[in-house]
Structure 1
Amino acid sequence: MTTDDTEPILELRDVEKHFDQSTNIAETVRQTLFGESQEPVRAVDGVDLELSENQVHGIIGESGCGKSTLLLTLMGEHDPTSGEILFKGQPIAEFTKADWKQLRRKIQVIFQDPFNTMNPHFTVRETLKEPFKIHDIETDEGELLDMLETVRLTPPEEYIDRRESQLSGGEKQRVSIARALILEPEVVLADEPVSMLDVSTQASILKLLSELTEEYDVSMFYVSHDLSTVSYVCDRVNVMYLGRIIESAPTRKILTDPKHPYTQALINAIPIPDPFHKRTWTELDGTPGDAQNLPTGCRFKDRCPERMDVCDQQPAFKRHGEGNSHQVACHLYDKQTVGHSPAEITETGVSEQ
C-alpha cells in the first residue's frame, strides 16, 4: 500500500492464514457420520501490504485481530493458506533451503516478551554471538561491545558477561534489539516490543528503535495493540480488524484525521495525561467477534455506531483524499454515499426521501 514507485522490499498479496479447529475423537466421528465440518478460524483473511526500504509500518489492532499471526506468517512460522509473500519481488514460497537461511539473516525479529527470549544460561556475549554461529560468520569482541554501546548499554564491558537474571526488563529488551540488529538485517519484525515494560522504559525503548531504524537504514513492521506508541517509530499505520486491514495512512494523518469508525474509536481511547481535559468517549457495543464465525460484509458492522444496510456488503479498500495516501474500507466513503446520512443509505445505494 505504498504510494511511491520503488519496489517494496517486503510485499504481501492477498495473504490468508486459516486454522482448522482441533476436535476430539468423538467429535471427529460425529462429523464423519453426519457429514458436518467446522468452519476454520480465519486469523488473517486477505491482507495486502507493502513495505519499502527504510520505512517503518505499524500494524495496529485489538488482541485477536490477527496481527501476531500475520507476523508469524511473515517469519515463516506459518505457511500462508493462500496468497503470496514476496521479498524484493521474489515469492518466498519458491525459496530453496539456502535461500531461507539467507532470508532469516536479512529478516530479524524482536519479540514481545524480553523476560523469556534470552537463554538464562547464556551471558550477553553468548547471546550476541549466537546469530553469527548460526550463519557461520566470524566476529570479534569489539563488534559485540560496539553493538552494546549502540543500544545504550554502557559501559558495555559491565554488561557483556551478565546473564539474563542480572538484567532489568528494559536491559533485556535492549539486548534483544542488539541481537536483532547485529547481523545488519534489511527488515525487522517487532512484535509488541514494549508491551511488557513499564511506561518510562517503553518511552526509552521506542526512542531507541526510532533512532536505530534510521541509523541502520532498516525497514520494520511494528505490531502493537497500543496506537499511542506508533508516533514514536512508524511512518505509516495499518489498522487491522478481524483479519483484515481496514484503514491505512501516514501516521500523522491517521492520528489527526481517522476515517474508519473503528480507527476513530481507537484514537479516542488513547489516554490524555491531563486530569482536567474534557473529551467525548466513543462507546462500542459488543465484542470484536469470532474469527471462526465471521459476519458477512463489513466485519465491524455489529459494533459500528454508523451501521447502514449497505454494510451487509463487503466494503472495498479505496484511496481517499489528496495524494491517495489515505486508504479506508468503509461504505461511508464510497462515492455514492459521501454527503448522505446513514439513514439515507440503503443496501443498494442512496434512497430518495
Structure 2
Amino acid sequence: MEIKKFIDKVPGGMMLIPLLLGATIHTFAPDTAEYFGSFTKGIITGAVPILGVWTFCLGASINVRATGTVVRKAGAVIGAKLLVAWMLALILGFLMQPNEMLSMPLFAGFSILAIVVAFDMTNAGLYSSLTSQYGTKEEAAAGALIGIESGPLFTMLILGSAGVASFHPAALVGVVLPFLFGFLLGNLDEKMRDFFAPAAKVMIPFFGFALGNSINFSLILETGLPGIILGVAVVMVSALFLIPADIFLAKGNGTAGIAASSTAGSAAATPMLIAQVAPQFEAVAPAATILIATCVVISAIMVPILTSIWAKKFAHKVDHFRAKKVLQVDCPEITET
C-alpha cells in the first residue's frame, strides 16, 4: 500500500489527514483516551508537548550563517506577512471582542483569533517547493528561515501589540525557549542540526492527530464554506502585500511573494495553544481550528496555480523592467540610443 504517496497528494495531508482521524475518534468515541490511558492517552492528548518538540527541532534546523540575500528575502516575506496580520488584528480589535464569533452564514465562526492565525503563518514547505521550481536558489533557501514564524509566538506578539490580548511575559518566553535552545544547539554543532532537523517533519502528523482529538465533526459542517472564503481571502490579500514586498524590498520579481501567500499546516494547532494561555479565546478556538484547517487546504491549492501563472506571465516583465532601470543608471548612453 502506498499510504504516504496518497497523503502527499492531499494539500497539507500530513497535518490534515491525522487531524481528521483524530476528529473522527473524538466525535464518535470521545472517551478513547481515558479508556486506554497510558501511552495511547499521551498521544491523543499530547498536542502541546509534541508541538514543543517540533519547535525545538525547527530551531535546530536554522543555520545562523545564512547568506545576506537569503536573510533579506526571508525578512521581506515574514515582515509583510506579519504586518498584514497585525493590521487586521488592530482593525478587528475595534469591531469585535476576543471571545466573539460572527454568526452570518458565509462568515460563521470568524473571529479575531481565526483571522490573525490564518494570515500570519506561511507554509514554508510549499514556499520552498515553488521557489525551487520557479524562483532562485536563494529564494528557495529562505524557506528554512520563513519557518520561524510557524507556531504561536508571533501570533501572541501580534495579538498583544494590537491590544487584543495580554500575555504574561513568562508565557511568551516559554513559547520561544524550545526554539532558542534548538537554534543554539544546531548552530554549535552541525551534526546536532543534521540529527534534529529531520524530526521537525516527523512531528507534524502526531500533533495533527492530537489536535484533531479536540474537535467535533459538527464544527466542520458549520465552517466548511466560511473556511473556503477565508482561504481565498488569505491568498488574495496576502499576495497584494507580499508581491510588492518581494519586488521592492527583496529585489525579486514577485514570484517568491505569491509563493508565500499560503497558510501553514501547523497554523491549525495555534488557536488551541493560544487559548491555553489566554482563556478569553477558549470559546472561539475550536471553530478557529476548523476554519484554519480548511484555509490550509484552499491556500495550498490556489498558491501553486497562481505562482505558476505569475512566474510564466509577469515575472519576466519585472526582471526586464529592473534590468532596464539598472542599464539606464549604469549606461545612460545605451538606453538613449
- Give TM class, smaller chain: under 0.3
> What TM-score results when the alignment is normalised by the length of structure 1?
0.26
Higher relative CO (Cα under 8 Å, sequence separation at least 6) belongs to 2
Higher strand share: 1
Higher helix share: 2
